[in-house]
């Protein structure tokens, strides 16, 4: 007779049902994470959520870039092609830019302007206008309306699929699942504003990356999709001249116009009126604008960027700043006076919360001054000096100071670790001692090598990035070549021992052959691990192809180092166990136990982890030195990102540089 407990629901059945009840939601959650829903209904929800996230992000940035009353300079723009809103050559207003884009047939737009003309502010204004218009649409219409996002072109080489790069940006900046991000892009639910096309290439270059980007936007599937490109006028004119076309096919070009004396006068009048400041405090400035509309003051303030600085400077320090502005009679001298107010203006537009909330004018001046001095010294020594990446910021702390602190800290940490381990496991002391000695040698050698080279990605030089696949780049050949090279070299070097022993007559031919077999097994494992690490690493061009985020260089380096260390632990550890069990014990040359192979794998894995993670270690050591000396912020990544968002710095590729050369020269 069957056990009635299974019929009536005994303890076994209850336990099975309880386990199934727990496993089912966990399994569903894992499945959603691995393969999220990308049906049309799901994508509509994801698009709405993305629109909310973009709105919050860009509103914060708009507030950082605009100091004072809630007023945007309604800049004029000239159109190059006749539309329903603005005939060719006639003038439109910034407040009409969103409607202007929506009325163009292809919704493809090129926004040009001089440095400081307000292109980034125009991009943000256009984006917020597009999101506001999208929010008013009926549900059925909004379901297929694209979400406008602003992405910085810097950090991309322009040669790979634009859709893949754009989806990667959504993943980086908004934390979207890569599958969802790619589906949103592929279904046309994203309208990108490509900001900083002129920042993709170094100053004075022939703009190969920017040109390649336009090529991508002129090909399927993007040649018929809406897109907005922001660029400096001179750079885009050079690109068009080299290409022989309008750059972005089917697009309308508009050029942001400099302000005239009347615009400047009205802006300052309205600015101080909203703040309730008596007119006599700043009348000398507006009176001079009225009396000399073509004078040096009017010429200096034609740039919206400088006009915003002037308004903030007069607001914060009216008597002192007025005296300085009125005491000079050249536009360049007035610009220098206003450059001195950039840092206070940036701080005035920053919310006083978190790490950024502790920044002071004196501290930021010191930090930016030290950065400008470092770049100047690099330039005079012939080492570039125009920009600096996050994994190079340690140089500001001093190479030898960082090296000494790094070695001292490493010796303390690993000395303590060695003492604790050998106290409990004395039998592995020789292996651990060898591993620590090799680690210190590798550490010191990497600290003093030529950091400008990239022969072995991530090895003590620049931070690298882990990537399973880079479109258009074959890295497996590089990995196989590296593995074979390592195998050949190590076989020759370590094979000398058994062969020499046999020739000297100290061991038999059989023992020598067994020893060679064991060493060949170890060599093959080491070669395999090396080949995998090299294959998964990325060089500078490959990182740009993937779309490297300048803020994530150190984190990407840590992930790569952890992965490289794990590869060596698994390959050498498991391979060592197999070799010790199946081969070494019968070779007559090496007698090992399974534990020896695992310990060897752990030692080499730790060595690999710490060697390939040197960029992150340098960054950490430099951060500690900065905290102690105050020469730079203790959290460089946060500061550099803040300086970029407030307009003090810009990004080219994955490196930071001063937004304007005048500011760098002024600080240096």
Q: Is 68 left (phi over 0), alpha (psi -120 to 50) or beta?
A: left
Name the E strands within 170-217: 190-195
Pairing of strands 91-93, 76-79: antiparallel
Model confidence pLDDT, tens digit, residues 56-69: 888 877 776 654 45
Sheet holding 649-652, edge to edge: 388-389, 655-658, 649-652
Model confidence pLDDT, tens digit, residues 318-375: 666 677 777 777 888 888 888 887 888 788 777 777 778 789 989 999 999 999 998 8
The C-alpha atoms of residue 481 and residue 532 are separated, in whole angstroms, by 11
User: Which residue bears the tokens 């292109």?
Assistant: 119
* Mean pLDDT, residues 415-439: 60
For 368-394, the three-class secondary structure string (H helix, E strand, C coil) is: HHHHHHHHHHHHHCCCCCCCEEHHHHH
Pairing of strands 227-232, 190-195: parallel
The C-alpha atoms of residue 74 and residue 259 are separated, in whole angstroms, by 10
> For the chain, what is the mean pLDDT?
78
The region of weakest confidence among 71-75, 399-403, 612-616 is 71-75
307 versus 353: which is more confidently predicted? 307
Q: Is 6 left (phi over 0), alpha (psi -120 to 50) or beta?
A: alpha
The region of weakest confidence among 47-51, 233-237, 551-555 is 551-555
Q: How many CB atoms lie within 10 A of CB 546?
A: 22
In this model, does residue 515 exceed pLDDT 70?
no
531 versus 225: which is more confidently predicted? 225
The C-alpha atoms of residue 553 and residue 388 are separated, in whole angstroms, by 12
What pLDDT is attached to residue 472?
58
- The CA-atom distances, in angstroms, between 459 and each of 6, 189, 445, 541 are 61, 41, 11, 17
The helix-helix angle for 476-494 and 496-504 (nearest 10°) equals 20
Task: Find the Cα–Cα–Cα–Cα dihedral 570, 576, 582, 585, rounded to 10°.
Answer: -160
In angstroms and rounded to an integer, the radius of gyration of the C-alpha atoms of the chain is 31
What pLDDT is attached to residue 18?
62
The C-alpha atoms of residue 239 and residue 314 are separated, in whole angstroms, by 39
* Mean pLDDT, residues 91-99: 84
Fold annotation for 40-256: Rossmann fold (3.40.50)
Beta bridge partners of 79: 254
* Mean pLDDT, residues 618-637: 93
User: Which residue bears the tokens 């159109």?
Assistant: 79
What pLDDT is attached to residue 226?
95
Peptide bond into 378 cis (omega under 30): no
- 197 secondary structure, DSSP code: G
């Amino acid at each position: 007779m069957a056990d009635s407990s299974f019929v009536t629901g005994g303890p076994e059945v209850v336990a099975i049902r309880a386990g199934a009840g727990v496993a089912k939601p966990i399994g569903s959650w894992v499945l959603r994470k691995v393969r999220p829903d990308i049906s049309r209904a799901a994508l509509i929800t994801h698009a709405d959520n993305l629109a909310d996230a973009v709105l919050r992000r860009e509103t914060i940035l708009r507030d950082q870039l605009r100091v004072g009353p809630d007023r945007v300079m309604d800049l004029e723009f000239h159109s190059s092609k006749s539309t329903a809103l603005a005939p060719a050559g006639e003038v439109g207003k910034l407040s009409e830019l969103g409607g202007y884009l929506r009325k163009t047939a292809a919704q493809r737009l090129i926004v040009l302007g001089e440095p400081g003309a307000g292109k980034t502010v125009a991009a943000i204004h256009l984006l917020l206008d597009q999101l506001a218009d999208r929010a008013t649409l009926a549900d059925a219409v909004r379901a297929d309306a694209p979400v406008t996002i602003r992405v910085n072109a810097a950090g991309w080489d322009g040669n790979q699929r634009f859709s893949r790069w754009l989806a990667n940006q959504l993943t980086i900046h908004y934390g979207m699942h890569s599958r969802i991000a790619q589906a949103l892009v592929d279904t046309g639910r994203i309208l990108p504003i490509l900001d900083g096309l002129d920042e993709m290439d170094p100053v004075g270059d022939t703009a190969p990356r920017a040109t390649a980007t336009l090529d991508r936007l002129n090909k399927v599937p993007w040649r018929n999709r809406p897109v907005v490109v922001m660029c400096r006028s001179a750079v885009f004119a050079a690109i068009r001249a080299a290409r022989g076309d309008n750059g972005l096919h089917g697009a309308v070009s508009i050029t942001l116009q400099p302000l005239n004396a009347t615009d400047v006068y009205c802006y300052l009048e309205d600015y101080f009126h909203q703040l309730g400041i008596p007119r006599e405090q700043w009348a000398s400035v507006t009176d001079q604008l009225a009396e000399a509309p073509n004078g040096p003051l009017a010429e200096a303030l034609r740039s919206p960027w400088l006009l915003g600085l002037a308004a903030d400077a007069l607001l914060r320090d009216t008597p002192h700043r007025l005296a300085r502005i009125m005491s000079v009679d050249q536009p360049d001298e007035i610009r220098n006076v206003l450059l001195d107010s950039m840092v206070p203006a940036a701080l005035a537009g920053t919310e006083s919360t978190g790490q950024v909330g502790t920044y002071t004018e004196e501290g930021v001046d010191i930090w930016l001054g030290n950065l400008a001095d470092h770049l100047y010294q690099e330039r005079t020594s012939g080492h570039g000096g125009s920009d600096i990446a996050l994994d190079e910021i340690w140089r500001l702390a001093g190479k030898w100071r960082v090296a000494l602190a790094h070695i001292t800290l490493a010796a303390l940490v690993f000395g303590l670790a060695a003492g604790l381990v050998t106290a409990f496991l004395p039998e592995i002391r020789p292996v651990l001692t060898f591993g620590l000695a090799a680690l210190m040698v590798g550490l010191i050698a990497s600290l003093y090598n030529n950091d400008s080279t990239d022969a072995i990605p991530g090895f003590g030089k620049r931070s690298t990035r882990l990537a399973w696949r880079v479109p258009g780049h074959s890295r497996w050949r590089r990995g196989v070549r590296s593995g074979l090279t390592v195998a050949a070299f190590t076989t020759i070097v370590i094979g000398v021992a058994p062969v020499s022993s046999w020739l000297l007559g100290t061991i038999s031919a059989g023992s020598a052959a067994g020893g060679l077999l064991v060493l060949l097994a170890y060599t093959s494992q080491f070669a395999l691990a090396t080949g995998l690490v090299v294959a998964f690493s990325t060089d500078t061009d490959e990182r740009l192809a993937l779309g490297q985020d300048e803020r994530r260089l150190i984190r990407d380096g840590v992930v790569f180092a952890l992965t490289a260390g794990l590869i060596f632990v698994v390959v050498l550890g498991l391979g060592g166990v197999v070799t010790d069990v199946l081969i070494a014990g019968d070779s007559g040359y090496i007698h090992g136990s399974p534990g020896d192979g695992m310990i060897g794998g752990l030692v080499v894995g730790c060595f690999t982890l710490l060697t390939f993670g040197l960029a992150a270690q340098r960054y950490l050591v430099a951060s500690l030195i900065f905290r102690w000396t105050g020469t730079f912020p203790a959290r460089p990544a946060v500061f550099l990102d803040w300086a970029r968002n407030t307009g003090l710095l810009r990004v080219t590729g994955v490196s930071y540089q001063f937004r304007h050369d005048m500011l760098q020269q002024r600080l240096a």
